[in-house]
Amino acid sequence: MSTAPSAANEYNLTSDQMAEMESDVVTLLQELIQIPSVNHGEGKGDEKAVAEYVAAKLAEVGIESEIIETAPNRLNVVARIPGVDQTRGGLVVHGHLDVVPANAADWSVDPFGGVIKDGYIWGRGAVDMKDGDAMFLAVVRAWARAGYTPPRNILLIFFADEEAGSVYGSRWLVKNRPEIFEGYTEAISEVGGFSVTITGGHRLYFVETAEKGIQWMQLTATGDAGHGSFINPANAITKLARAVSRIGEYQWPARETKTGSKFFSKIAELVGEKYDPANPRPLLKHIGGAARMMGATVQNTANPTMLEGGYKANVIPGSASAVIDGRFLPGFEHELEETLRELTGTDASIEVLVRDKALEVDFEGPLVEAMCAAILAEDPDGVPVPYLMSGGTDNKALSDLGIIGYGYSPVRLPQELDFFALFHGVDERIPIDGLIFGVRTLARFLSNS
C-alpha cells in the first residue's frame, strides 16, 4: 500500500521524506566515489566493494537484492521493486558501477576523495555515472522508508564493466540470465536529462533517444621485410601510413536522422535561424561545449587510435597494423563500411574487431511524456529535446531483448560548466544543487511512469 503524504504529494513523499532523500543522495554519491571501482579494460576491473556497498544500502531499508558474480570480483547487483499494476510492462532502471582510471597527479583534488568544494562533489564517477547510481538508490530508499509502491514494476540493476564493453555486465546477464528481464519493456539509464544552456539563455534538457553504432577495425598492411638501409617500395609501414592518413583526414558528409532532425529543428526555432538538413553544423555554435559531442552526431566518424609496426630501427617489418574507431549513425552503417574500404584501397586489409548496433527510438509515448513532465515541473523554463549520443550505453545490450531504452538521469547544470569535458576527464565533478534537482526529478518521473 502507498502512504498518504501530508505534503509534497506530487512526489508521493512528505516534505520531511523529500529532505531526507536530498541529503541521502549527496552522502551516497560521496561514498560511492570513495570506493575506487576502476575498470582498466581487458578484464582488469573490480566492482566487488562497490557492489557490496550498494547491496548493503538497499538492505538497510529492507530491499532485497541479488549479487551476480560473472568473473572474479566482477559483480552486478539486481533488485526488484514491485509495482501496483502487475499487468503493465515493467521499467528497468540501470546504472553501472565501474569507472575509468584517474591519474591523481593530474587532479586538483583526490579523485577518489568524494570531496565537496565550491558547491560541487568532486571525484571519478561524479558524472559517469555514480551520480545516477546515487540518485536511483536515493529514490528507492526514500520509497522504502515511506512504504510507497510505484505504479509499475521496477527492475533496479547496477552493472559491472560498462566502461570496457559490458562483457561482465549487461551483455553477460542478457545472454546468461535473460529471465531476469522477463516482463520488462522499457529502460532508463545514463547520459540524458541534463541541461545545456544555448544562445538566448534557453535551457534545453537533452533526453537520449539514439546512440551511434560502433565498428572498431584493424588495418593490416603487408610488404617486403628487409634492411632499413635498402630502397623498399613495398614497405608495410608506408602502405599503412597512406591508408591511415586518408581515413584520418576524410571529411564525412552530414546525414540526417529523425532524432537529429528534431534536435536541430528545435535549436533553429529557439535561436531564430534556419535548419538545413544537409548541413546542420552552423547551429552547433549555439550549444557551447556540447558541440564537441553533438558535432559527431551529424555524420559518421572513423578515427585512427592505435599504431603498431616494426621492432628495430634498421629493420623494415613485413607487416604493420592500426586500429580505427568507427562510429556510424542509425541507418548509415553501410556508408561507413563502404567508405572505409574505398579509403583503405589495396594498401591494407580490414578486420572488424568489435561491432555494435546503433539505436534510435521515438521521442513520444507515455514514458517520454512522463520524463518531460517531470523536468518541466522542476524547471518550467526547460525545453526537453531528444538527442543522439556519439557513444553507447548498456541500453544496447538490453535492446537485444526488445527493451526500449532512453538516457535519463537528469541534472540541472550551470551555463558555464563544460559538462562533456568532464566525462573521463580531469577534475570530474557535479554541482550539488544539480544533483538534488536530478533526484527530485527522478522521484517525480518514477512515481508517474
Could you write out the DSSP letters of every residue in 61-93?
Answer: TT--EEEEEEETTEEEEEEEE--SBTTSPEEEE
pLDDT for the residue 136: 98
Contact between residue 153 and residue 80 where contact means Cβ atoms under 8 Å apart: yes
pLDDT for the residue 10: 76
Contact between residue 31 and residue 114 where contact means Cβ atoms under 8 Å apart: yes
pLDDT by residue for the chain (449 residues), tens digit each? Answer: 344 443 456 788 999 999 999 999 999 999 999 999 999 998 999 999 999 999 999 999 999 999 999 999 999 999 999 999 999 999 999 999 999 999 999 999 999 999 999 999 999 999 999 999 999 999 999 999 999 999 999 999 999 999 998 999 999 999 999 999 999 999 999 999 999 999 999 999 999 999 999 999 999 999 999 999 999 999 999 999 999 999 999 999 999 999 999 999 999 999 999 999 999 999 999 999 999 899 999 999 999 999 999 999 999 999 999 999 999 999 999 999 999 999 999 999 999 998 999 999 999 999 999 999 999 999 999 999 999 999 899 999 999 999 999 999 999 999 989 888 898 999 999 999 999 999 999 999 999 98
- Counted residue by residue, the chain has a size of 449
> How does DSSP classify residue 424?
T
How is residue 417 written as a grid cell? Answer: 560548466
Long-range contacts formed by 172-179: CB under 8 A, 24+ apart: 172/70, 172/76, 173/68, 173/70, 173/76, 173/78, 173/397, 174/397, 174/398, 174/400, 174/401, 176/70, 177/68, 178/401
pLDDT for the residue 1: 36
Give the class (CATH, top level) of 213-258+295-356.
alpha beta
Q: How far apart are CA 247 and CA 329, in angstroms?
A: 17
pLDDT for the residue 183: 97
Q: Where in the chain is the domain with CATH 3.40.630.10?
A: 15-208+359-447
Contact between residue 432 and residue 26 where contact means Cβ atoms under 8 Å apart: yes
| Residues linked to residue 259 through DSSP beta bridges, in sequence order | none
Architecture of domain 15-208+359-447: 3-Layer(aba) Sandwich (3.40)
- Longest CA–CA separation in the chain, Å: 87
pLDDT for the residue 3: 42
Contact between residue 151 and residue 72 where contact means Cβ atoms under 8 Å apart: no
What pairing do the DSSP bridges indicate for beta strands 184-189 and 349-356?
unpaired
Q: Where in the chain is the domain with CATH 3.30.70.360?
A: 213-258+295-356
pLDDT for the residue 9: 67
